[in-house]
Structure 1
C-alpha cells in the first residue's frame, strides 16, 4: 500500500510519561516556584492546590485524605503495602505486569503468610466472584500493560471488613472510580494528565487512616512513613511532603489540573478518552491483522489500548522474531514522525499499545491508524516466510 501523507499533529502515544495536554508548551512552567523551598508558605500552597484540585476533579469524598508522595505510583502503592500488609489475610489480583509486581512483592519480599494470588493471563481479568472481600484486597483498576480494566464496581461490596487498595494510575482522570467501595487509591502525575514523573499521589479513606495509625507489621524507612509518634502525619495531607518535590513538576501538575477543569472536568476527560477507544475499535473491526488484547469488550481500557497482531504469519513466528517484527513495525512509524512509543510493554505479549488518555486527541489517533496499516504491510513483506 502507499505511504500515508497525513501525520498526527501530536504523535505522542506513550503510556507513561504520557502526552501533554493540548496546547502545552514550556511557557506553562513560567511561574514555577524554582529556587524556593517547598516548605515556604508559597511552595506549600501550591502543593496544597494540587491536592485540592485533584480531590475536586475526581470527586474524592470530603473525609478522605490525599497526599503527594515520592516515587510515582509505584512508591504510592509500596508505601501502603509495607505499612499495612500482614495485619490480616490478603487477596491480590494479578493480571498484568504491575499487578503481578504487587503480588510478587507481597509473596516473596514481604512474605505475607496468609496471601491468595488470583491470577489471569494478559487480556483477561481474574474471577472477581472469587475475591474474599472480608480480607484486605489489592487490585489494579486498569491494567496499563494489558489494556484490561475492571468494568464496573458491581463485584465490590460497599460494606467490607478488609481494606481495598486500588492502583488506579492509568484510570484516574479517565474512568469512574467507586470511592464508596475503595479504601486506598493511588496514581501518578505522568499518566492521564500528562504530568512529569517521580511523584505519586495516595488517597486514603477514614477506615484506611485508622488502620495506618494502628498497624505496625514492620519498621518502615522514612520515605514510606505516613505516621509518626502522634499518629497520622496530618501535615502531609495539607501540602507538606515526605521528601523534596520538584516545584517544576508541581507547576506542571497544576497546569494539567487547570486544563482538566477548563475542559469540563471528569465527564469531559472520560469522554475524550472514550472517543479515542471508539476510533481504535472501529479500525480493529475492519482490520484483519489486529485485535484487542482484552478478550471481553466490557473490560477494554480506554487509556492503555493494547492490541495483538493476529495474522497467521505473525503468530507462526518464534517469540523473539515476533518482538523483532513489532520493533520493526513501530520503528517505521517513528521514523516517519507519525507515532512514537507504540510497542507493547516489555513483559506483555508482542503487539501494540496506544495511549488514549484524556490529553490525546482522537483525531491524532485517527491519523495514526493508516500509518500502522502501512507499517504492517512493510513488516509483513520483511518477516513473512
Structure 2
C-alpha cells in the first residue's frame, strides 16, 4: 500500500529535523542558557565541580533504578572508553564469549581477539538478526551490545541470562539506557554515553559495576599493562573516587552541566517511564509507516527485537537498481529539504536509513518527517527511471 499522491511535496516540516543517532538531538526545552550555571574555569576537584559530578552520578543511578551496592561512575572517551576500560580491566580471568550483530559489537571482537589476544568464542549474526542467545555459555565472560545502534536490533529481555551464571556479563547499552528496560540483576558491567537517549554532549561515558564485577576487579589483575586512563583499581582495591565524582582525567564541566540539565528535564517529565514511553511512541510511528507500505521495512527481522531508538530501515522495492546509491539519494533529498538530517544508514550497515527515535525527539517531528520520506522515495524512484 502507498499513500495517495505520494509524489506530492509535503507542506509541513519538522520543527526540529535532527534525527541523528549520535550525537542525538537535545531535549526539546534546551537552549544555550542551560549551561550558564556550569562551573567553568573551576577545578573539577573543587567542591562545586565534584558536587556537580556526584549529583549527576547519583541522579543517574536513581533514575535508572540501579540496585544498591552497584557502582556508577563517569569515565573518559564516551561509551567506547567505558567499554575499553571494562574489557581491558576485567577480561582474562575466565574463558570469554564475544557476541556481535552489528559494527560496534564487531569492534569489541577485534579489540579482544587482536589486541588483548584472548582465545575467545566469537558468535555473530547478520545485520537485522540476533544470534541464538540461549546457546551462549553464560559461565564464560560474555561481551555484547544490548541495542545495536547500527542494526536497529536489541535484546528483547534478560530472561536468557542465568541468575546463577559463573561469568560476568559486560554490556554496551549506549543506545538502550534510559529508553529500554535493563535487567540489572543480569548485568555486571553496563556502559553508555550521554550523547544518545539523553541528548548530551560527546566525550564522556558512564560505567556501572555490579558487586560481582567489583569482586573480579579486586581479586584478578589482568596479564597486560593497563594505561592510567583504564585503571579502576589501585593496590588491589577499587578506586572509589571514580564513583564519587573524582574522575580519572579532567572532565568538561560544560558537558557535565549539559547532562545535568537533561536529567532534570527527564525528571520533569516523570522519569524513566516517561522516557521509555516517548521512545516507544516515536518508534511505533515509524513502524506503522513501514507496515503501510510495500517498499520499505524494518531491518530487524523479528519484531520482538526491534529497537525503539536507532530504528534502521531497508528499501525493498524491486525497481531499485543500486541500493546504496538509492538510499543516499533519499537521505540527501530529505536533508536538502530540512526534513531530516543525518538519517543515512551507518557506513558498515546494509544500505538504508537510520532514524533516531530516542526520548529527546518529539513525536510531532517524526510525524512531520514521514511524509517527506514518502515524497523523497518516489522522487528518487522517478529520478532513477529517468536516468536509466
Q: TM-score, normalised by structure 1?
A: 0.97
Which of the numbers 141, 151, 157 marks the counterpart of 2:156?
A: 151
Partner in structure 2 of residue 273 of structure 1: 279
Partner of 1:15: 21
Runs of 4+ aligned structure 1 residues displaced above 6 Å come to none
Q: Give the 3-state SS of the residue equivalent to 1:333 in structure 2.
A: helix
Deviations 1:121-175 (A, max 9, x none): 0000010011101110111100000000001111111111010011000000000
Runs (5+) with no aligned partner, structure 1: none
Partner residue, 2:53 = 47
1:360 maps to: 361
Partner of 2:288: 282
Q: 1:85, CA displacement in angstroms?
A: 1.5
**Residue 331 of structure 1 aligns with which residue?**
332
Is residue 2:69 matched to residue 1:63? yes
Question: Partner of 1:235 in structure 2?
Answer: 241
1:50-91: CA deviations, max 9, x gaps? 100100100001100011000000000001101122111011
Please give the per-residue CA displacement for 1:270-327, whole angstroms capped at 9, x wherever unaligned.
Answer: 000000111011111111210000000000000000000111122x42xxxx322222
* Mapped contact 1:184–1:208 kept (Cα < 8 A): yes
Please state how far the C-alpha of 1:105 moved relative to its aligned partner: 1.1
Looking at structure 1, the residues matched to 240 and 263 of structure 2 have their Cα atoms a distance apart, in angstroms, of 23
Residue 293 in 1 paired to residue 299 in 2? yes
**Corresponding residue for residue 4 of structure 2:** none
1: CA distance between counterparts of 2:74 and 2:338?
35
Deviations 1:306-350 (A, max 9, x none): 000111122x42xxxx32222221111111111100000000001
Partner residue, 1:214: 219
Name the counterpart of 1:245: 251
**Take 2:143 and 2:160, find their aligned partners in 1: how far apart are those partners?**
14
**Correspondence 1:192 to 2:197:** yes
Query: Given the alignment of the two structures, is residue 176 of structure 1 paired with residue 177 of structure 2, yes or no?
Result: no
Whole-Å Cα distance in 2 between the matches of residues 275 and 242 of structure 1? 38
- The answer to whether the 8 Å contact 2:278/2:358 transfers is yes
2:85 aligns with 79
User: Deviation of residue 109 (structure 1)?
Assistant: 1.3
Q: 1:3·1:371 contact (CA, 8 Å) conserved in 2?
A: yes
CA contact 1:83–1:215 (8 Å) conserved in 2? no
Unaligned runs of 5+ in 2: 1-6
The one of 251, 262, 268 aligned to 2:268: 262
Shift of 1:215: 2.1
Q: Does 1:139 align with 2:140?
A: no
TM-score by length of 2: 0.96
Report the 3-state secondary structure (helix = DSSP H, G, I; strand = E; otherwise coil) of the residue aligned with 1:313. Answer: coil
Deviations 1:235-288 (A, max 9, x none): 111000000000000000000001111111111100000001110111111112
